[in-house]
Amino acid sequence: MKAEERKISGRKVKTVRAKGFLPGNVYGKKVKSLAVQVDKKEFEKIYEEVGETGLITLQVGKEERPVLIHNVQVHPVTDEPIHIDFRQVDLKTKVTAEVPIEVTGESPAEKQGIGTVVQYLNQVEVEALPMDLIEKFIVDTSILAEVDQAIYVKDLKADKSKIEIKTNGDEIVVKVEPPQKEEVVETPIVPVGAEGEVPAEGEVPAEGTPGAEQPAEPGAPSGKEEPKA
């Protein structure tokens, strides 16, 4: 990938983007940080192919630098890249990197409707020489036939003579979870007053409605016995 040394920085980098370039920085151990700019379309094409684990030769003028794409900042609305960090590496020194996990295949458990495959990890950390880094781990879920069956980090396939997986081997990558039960919410039965209306708290039912006390007629027995003399 071709790159040019960048003289513009700060808020003025918007003029760099306006011309179809992306601002970036090259950094690394024993490497002086260098501000650069690369062609946006060329970067997007290469980034789609190699991700953050593929080794790239960055050509700055007459100098060639082995780098990894380490940090891509994107626009919060459009998700388009707006800045890149290139990590310059020593081809003879091991580096750590995050390798993505891609899930493929169809689980018999999910196909039969007895469970759902849930992905727990999207990437794992590995250590290897820059030339030995892989693009991704592929996990085939077609072997998952029962509920609670899982694939762990220790099950990932890699050339252990070249790649060391640093993530805990007992961590779950994918697992068949039982179907979620739907909760039935019961609607409480509320007594209603006249004409189907619910009396407000503290309200006295209107005269003539069920439960309303009727005033006693003059002279009529009240229903209570008078004390005898």
Residue 171 included in any domain: yes
pLDDT value, residue 229:
43
Print the SS3 string covering the chain: CEEEECCCCHHHHHHHHHCCEEEEEEEECCEEEEEEEEEHHHHHHHHHHHCCCCCEEEEECCEEEEEEEEEEEECCCCCCEEEEEEEECCCCCCEEEEEEEEEECCCHHHHCCCCEEEECCCEEEEEECHHHCCCCEEEEHHHCCCCCCEEEHHHCCCCCCCCEECCCCCCEEEEEECCCCCCCCCCCCCCCCHHHCCCCCCCCCCCCCCCCCCCCCCCCCCCCCCCCC
Same domain? For 65 and 109 the reply is: no
Q: Look at 108 and 216; give whichever has higher pLDDT.
A: 108
The CATH number of whichever domain residue 43 belongs to comes to 2.40.240.10
Averaged pLDDT, 71-98: 94
Do residues 78 and 16 both lie within one domain? yes
- Asked whether residue 166 is domain-assigned, the answer is yes
Same domain assignment for residues 118 and 137: yes
What is the percent of the chain with per-residue pLDDT over 70, rounded to a whole number? Answer: 79
pLDDT tens digit sequence for 135-172: 999 999 999 999 999 999 999 999 999 999 999 999 99
How many domains in the chain?
2
184 lies in a domain? Answer: no
Q: Do 128 and 74 reside in the same domain of the chain?
A: no
Q: Where residue 119 sits, what CATH number does that domain have?
A: 2.170.120.20
Final residue in a domain of this structure, among 57, 89, 121: 89
Query: Which of 10-14, 105-109, 113-117 shows the lowest per-residue confidence on average (mean pLDDT)?
Result: 10-14
Domain span at residue 136?
96-177
Average pLDDT over residues 68-88: 94
Question: Has residue 111 been placed in a domain?
Answer: yes
**Residue 56 domain-assigned (yes or no):** yes
